[in-house]
Amino acid sequence: MSSEESDPPPLMDLIDKDGWFHEYGTLWPGQAMSLKVERVIDHHRTKFQDLLVFESTHYGTVLVLDGVIQVTQRDEFSYQEMIAHLPLFAHPSPKRVLVIGGGDGGVLREVCRHPLVEEAVLCEIDGDVCAAAKAHMPFVACGFDDPRVKVHIMDGFEFMKNNPGTFDVIITDSSDPVGPAKVLFETPFYDAMHDALAPGGIVCTQGECAWLHLDLIRPLIDSISGKYDSVEYAYTTIPTYPSGQIGHIIATKGRGPCRVPARKPTEELQQVLRYYSPEIHDAAFVLPQFAKRAISDDGGTHPARCPCASARRERVVCRRGKMSAEKNPGKEAATGRAADECAVVGESTGVCDQHVLSSSKCGMLIDTCMWIHRWSCITGANDLVGSLF
């Protein structure tokens, strides 16, 4: 029996006898999110996945795909605003925007808040998601009403292959990397996005949760860092996503990082937005130390080695006490990482606005490696470094 002919799972598998929906998932073992159900609005099997819409007692209308919460009326704005406005406000003039997934229309709603956007294209593989949103969730489906929007019910990968060098911003609003969304977390898909970007373009994707998925996030960042000019991880908070947090992978083509917005919302728009602001934009890239170490140290949001050819490494000592074998042939590096793989040192001392040392030649923050302990190649630097680490 084909997937489009199969029946949806019994509601009792999704909603218990006391009227509670429970979200279980293999990607967050040992925990669950529960919402009290007031009434079921829609439940059927699409060509690709199980679709459930229900009215909850405290979170409004809820969209669930394959047992996983996608949208709740109460908190959807935080995710929709951040995945859209982080790349859009980082771009000086986004005219053509592509949204992959996002069939509920929420990301389109946010994209269309930008008057510079001339065309907003949505590629959603499952047309039933769009139909359900239009029928039951006007608070997000209003995104379809803008005349600049064009909708294609098709595979986004195929669409991008047919539109190279076209889009200023590409946003992938995907579900978790299981089922039909799995391909959206693989390197070929990121290669296709890169090819579909115009010069100076930005991609922003659903980047999973730092509390749960570092084993997914870091390999993905590693695999695409050679293709894109910058790759960064930012995050937002949203109560009904696993562990209350969701990340965004933001990568660029022919331009630098997106930590600093190129534009800011007008005063009128800022009054409409409920989560995004220029201050939140900056803060979204500031990661807790456990995530920063895991994502940034080994090929994460910054290149593993500084591109500055004149950077000196000869007397850097990493926190584990290993000297660089490369610049100190008389000293053997200890087992594991050599110091010159940990740190890049510029030709003068300096303190950036984040109170970390910076290379004078290229501005790379040397705290991109958390193992740095001492910079001893310049007289007097020890005292300064000792106060920083």
What is the set of active-site residues?
Answer: 173
Query: Which residue has 């040397």 as its token pair?
Result: 366
Q: Give the Cα separation of 335 and 320 in Å (integer).
A: 10
- Candidates 73, 206, 68; CA nearest to 133 is 73
Q: Residue 361 in 3-state DSSP?
A: coil
Going 23 to 28 to 29 to 30, the CA torsion angle's sign is negative
Going 366 to 367 to 369 to 371, the CA torsion angle's sign is positive
Query: Which residue has 């693989």 as its token pair?
Result: 186
- Candidates 191, 116, 200; CA nearest to 166 is 200
Q: Give the Cα separation of 23 and 71 in Å (integer).
A: 13
CB atoms inside a 10 Å sphere around CB 35:
22
Phi-psi region of 273 (alpha: psi -120 to 50; beta: other; left: phi over 0): beta
Phi-psi region of 380 (alpha: psi -120 to 50; beta: other; left: phi over 0): left
User: Strand ranges (DSSP E) for 93-196?
Assistant: 96-101, 119-123, 149-152, 167-173
* DSSP secondary structure string for all residues of 180-213: GGGGGGSHHHHHHHHHHEEEEEEEEEE---TTT-
Q: Give the Cα separation of 193 and 228 in Å (integer).
A: 10
Q: Give the Cα separation of 307 and 94 in Å (integer).
A: 29
- Give the residues across from 69 on adjacent strands: 64
